[in-house]
Amino acid sequence: MATAWMATVVEADPSARAALQTLSPDFAGLYEAHSRPIYYLCLRLLADPALAEDATHDVFLKVWQRRDQFRGDSTWRTWIYRIAINHCHNLQSAWSQRHIQPTEQDALLDLAGGDDTSPLRVLELRELGERIQTTLDRLPPEYRLLLLLVADEELSYDEIAELTQQTPDAVRGKLHRARKAFAAAFAATA
């Protein structure tokens, strides 16, 4: 996917938001508050801006359809993330049945055992999205998801643990290894 790394940077479109506002101010507020992190998660999990756009639409349509099921046991953010993660996993499962996935993960995990304090550089910002996508694509799916979730400062370790169905301590341990693996893989993209 040659263009998969391209983060879509566009101007805000007030008319698009107004369309939602007229339907339901509450729903428009949810979309306004959470669509960016959800789109980013979809973009980096699916590695394709067009698929991420479709996925974000589908996720928020599910939010609309299931809004009466929200019980307040979690935050809206966590609830919507759960829908998005399941949606992306379902899409990825469908793909993996049709495609053979290249695996470089073992080599990266070996690298991840080394020093993680070496500075990593890119020459231009334009490269950054591409290198981040390449790096994430080379990580085990669990590491990829954990790194993307912890990058959202609104999520606590407890919420990440709940979303990934493990203990907060397990999340901390895996995140430590995930950061090392990311650093190693990022260096390899230079």
Give the binding site for other proteins (CB under 8 A): 7-13, 15-17, 19-20, 22-24, 27, 31, 35-37, 39-40, 43-44, 49, 53, 56-57, 60-61, 64-65, 116-125, 127-129, 132, 147-148, 150-153, 157, 176, 178-180, 182-183, 186
Which DSSP string do the residues of 134-164 spell out, in sequence order?
A: HHHHHS-HHHHHHHHHHTSTT--HHHHHHHT
Smallest distance from other proteins to CB 144, Å:
10
> How near is the Cβ of 19 to other proteins at its closest, in Å?
4
Residue 38, classified by CB atoms within 10 Å of its CB into exposed (0-12), middle (13-18) or buried (19+), is buried
CA distance 46 to 41: 8
Q: Write down the least CB distance from residue 172 to other proteins, Å.
A: 9
Place of tokens 């231009």: 124
Q: To the nearest whole angstrom, how small is the minimum distance from the Cβ of residue 190 to other proteins?
A: 10
Q: Rounded to whole angstroms, how far apart are CA atoms 181 and 107? A: 10
Q: Which is nearer to other proteins, 19 or 107 (CB)?
A: 19
Closer CB to other proteins, 93 or 184, in the complex:
184
